[in-house]
Structure 1
């Protein structure tokens, strides 16, 4: 497993300080984000999952705590749309260049609008997928916002 991914390269290019955490990825885990949190010994609310969504047919990237669920109504509103739905896994992989279970908001093949759950901003450090199954990056939430040119809004149900 490599510590260098498109996501870590993007963070380096953005001048963002981060630490890499490696863990044993289990594809059969019921909730991959929670499995990652447990594997690296971090609180689930600090480990954020990346979910690719379509708002009125346009792709967007959302980042929320691994122990929470996305509110499609809030996602649609956050991106100025009327309807939001989860992107199909194959479409998410094609768009991002990452495999499901390893999708990072950083270093995606195509840049799309992004938002991070505002509650995550209260943490000193958050942990987000590093662009490969079993690779996580730890960084300040403000740095994640800056690197993604994202906004912090309420996204969870």
Structure 2
């Protein structure tokens, strides 16, 4: 079975995406990793796995700019959830194959709905994200990201 990183590279190559890979010390905080990779914190695609609070189902991978905060009411509305809450670290790793902080803004599971705040892709020509690993980032053309990931574009920030 391939790693999330390998799946990402295969996907980006097959879709002829404009991207580059940046290796760096392991870091999970979006502000610190932005400084390490030389990008603006707002370019960082912060990935937060959410679920329906009532039944622990209805997975939504909410993607927002690294310098913004998540609005759970907006996530619930975008994902058709009664009330959204964060997945536990164990649930996030089970559902995405990645530890928290390493989850990329892509989903390889049909169970997870991908919702992206439009502010992420409107502000910068490139987005940056940890590529399934805490020590490796990808900087990807924003228009290629939308074309390949085909997310639901809905506001999810406070």
How would you bin the TM-score normalised by the shorter chain?
A: 0.7 to 0.9
Could you list the per-position Cα deviations for residues 3-58 of structure 1 after superposition, in whole angstroms to 9, with x for gaps in the alignment? x533222322333221111211146xxxx111110111211001111111113621
1:26 and 1:105 mapped to 2: Cα distance? 17
Aligned to 1:35: 32
Aligned to 1:134: 135
Whether the 8 Å contact between 1:10 and 1:106 is mirrored in structure 2 is no
Whether the 8 Å contact between 2:118 and 2:154 is mirrored in structure 1 is yes
Whether the 8 Å contact between 2:30 and 2:44 is mirrored in structure 1 is yes
Aligned to 2:49: 52
Give the structure with the larger helix fraction: 2
**For structure 1, which segment, 81-90 or 146-155, has the greater mean C-alpha deviation from structure 2 after superposition?**
146-155
Secondary structure in structure 2 of the residue aligned to 1:50: strand
TM-score (norm 1): 0.85
Whether the 8 Å contact between 1:5 and 1:132 is mirrored in structure 2 is no
Could you list the per-position Cα deviations for residues 48-85 of structure 1 after superposition, in whole angstroms to 9, with x for gaps in the alignment? 11111113621111111111110000101112222100
1:63 aligns with 2:63: yes
Aligned to 2:84: 84
Shift of 1:107: 5.8
Secondary structure in structure 2 of the residue aligned to 1:45: helix
1:147 aligns with 2:144: no
Cα RMSD (Å) of the superposition? 1.8
Report how many aligned residue pairs link the two structures: 149
1:87 and 1:139 mapped to 2: Cα distance? 26
Aligned to 2:104: 104
Aligned to 1:116: 116
